[in-house]
Chain A
């Protein structure tokens, strides 16, 4: 029940477009759904996260959508910019989790 599937593995979007990354999970006990952003040579950094009591959370150009029944959540980047080019990871988890499982990562490239 620890499996986490992230898609797509890589994504190329034109500047100004919408980038969408998906994360599907199996463990229904998960109650924290974060997206991390990692630039080359740096460690991951929390971008945005959601708790299951809401279905959507928006922070600037970044929106996280949560579908409890489908057991998946998505990251939407509006008006994508070249500076958004990075690798994105989902890492759903819950209080008391005994290990942390990350998605496989999505390498996002925004073409100018």
Chain B
């Protein structure tokens, strides 16, 4: 069974640009959640989608958004990039309907903002 796939793995952007990251969950998983990982702040929850609906959201500005498609694939978008957005962005899928239970993480998309 294929794991969680994130693309692209690495990308470099400049301040003010926008970026879109993609996540394909494990087949059959309908919940996808996104996280930002930085050395200073650790792992921080961004948002969670289930059946194309955002169910939960962390404490991030509106520049961070996402969506989920009918096949459970998800994208997150960051607009007007800032230097502080440089981070590893991880997505996770789960079989359950919420944030409890085992999360299966992808390897992440490493974003560098110059």
Contacts and interface: CB of A to CB of B under 8 A. Distances in A.
Interface stretch (A11-19, A54-62, A71-79, A101-109): A101-109
Interface stretch (B13-21, B63-71, B75-83, B103-111): B103-111
A31 B100 contact: yes
Contacts of A104: 42
Contacts, number: 61
Categorize the interface residue count of chain B: 20 to 34
A77 B80 CA distance: 44
A89 B101 contact: no
Interface residues of A, number: 26
B102 A102 contact: no
20 contacts: A31-B100, A32-B100, A34-B102, A36-B105, A41-B107, A43-B105, A43-B108, A44-B43, A45-B105, A49-B102, A94-B100, A95-B98, A95-B100, A97-B98, A98-B56, A99-B45, A99-B58, A99-B59, A100-B33, A102-B42
